[in-house]
Chains A and B, each alone.
Chain A
Amino acid sequence: QITLKESGPTLVKPTQTLTLTCTFSGFSLSTSGVGVGWIRQPPGKALEWLALIYWNDDKRYSPSLKSRLTITKDTSKNQVVLTMTNMDPVDTATYYCAHRSDRLLHFDYWGQGTLVTVSS
């Protein structure tokens, strides 16, 4: 059974760096084709893809946020970490991590999400 769970601060101040951790089970990020992505959703708004890391450590980012994002993985700990620099109130959102299936090619399992508020 695949599960994912996001963890990190619920409140950050403007200009700070956000670090979120996705801890997963039920799959290995060493398996060919598998990936873990981060997606966010501001309150009442649509989903926005942020970043994706593949089993082979290939990393992809949203072009509009690329300069602020870093995604890494720790295969031994079954964790993926996303850092976002220079946080702004417009970055207030629920942040999700999700499993990208090697077979289905899309995000088939999602974490519950974590709400991050950016405010001074």
Chain B
Amino acid sequence: EIVLTQSPGTLSLSPGERATLSCRASQSVSSSYLAWYQQKPGQAPRLLIYGASSRATGIPDRFSGSGSGTDFTLTISRLEPEDFAVYYCQQYGSSPLVTFGPGTKVDIK
């Protein structure tokens, strides 16, 4: 059974700073099947990145994804006030079919 681990649990940064979020899988994940979501309080998750590195429709280019195999990264190049949220990675295809990571909270320092 595949398990996703995200680090750090909380990232305290200031607007304008760079955020680097990590997602590690217990087994290799096809890059095609790794996604990142953003969730703000009281809202449903929003798809940011699919296929490990492709931005979903309407996602600003300050968000980028990279990685392969078991190690994936979400980078926010310069944090905007609206970027403070919780971020989840998710894999599709391995057993279980869908797995979410525990999330990384990006909060204001």
Which residues of A are interface residues toward B (Cβ below 8 A)? 37, 39, 46-49, 52, 60, 62-64, 96, 98, 101, 104-108, 110-113
Contacts and interface: CB of A to CB of B under 8 A. Distances in A.
A47 B100 contact: yes
B47 A46 contact: no
Given A104-B50, A104-B51, A106-B90, A112 B99 contact: no
Contact of B47 (A48, A62, A106, A113): A106
Contacts of A52: 97-98
Interface of B: 1, 32-33, 35, 37, 39, 44-47, 50-51, 54, 56-57, 88, 90, 92, 95-103
Contacts of A37: 98
Contacts of B99: 49
Contacts of B39: 47
Contact of A110 (B44, B57, B90, B92): B44
A37 B44 CA distance: 14
A46 B88 contact: yes
B100 A49 contact: yes
29 contacts: A37-B98, A39-B100, A46-B101, A46-B103, A47-B37, A47-B88, A47-B90, A48-B100, A49-B97, A52-B98, A60-B97, A62-B98, A63-B1, A64-B96, A96-B45, A98-B44, A101-B50, A104-B35, A105-B92, A106-B35, A106-B47, A106-B50, A106-B92, A107-B35, A107-B37, A107-B47, A108-B50, A108-B57, A110-B46
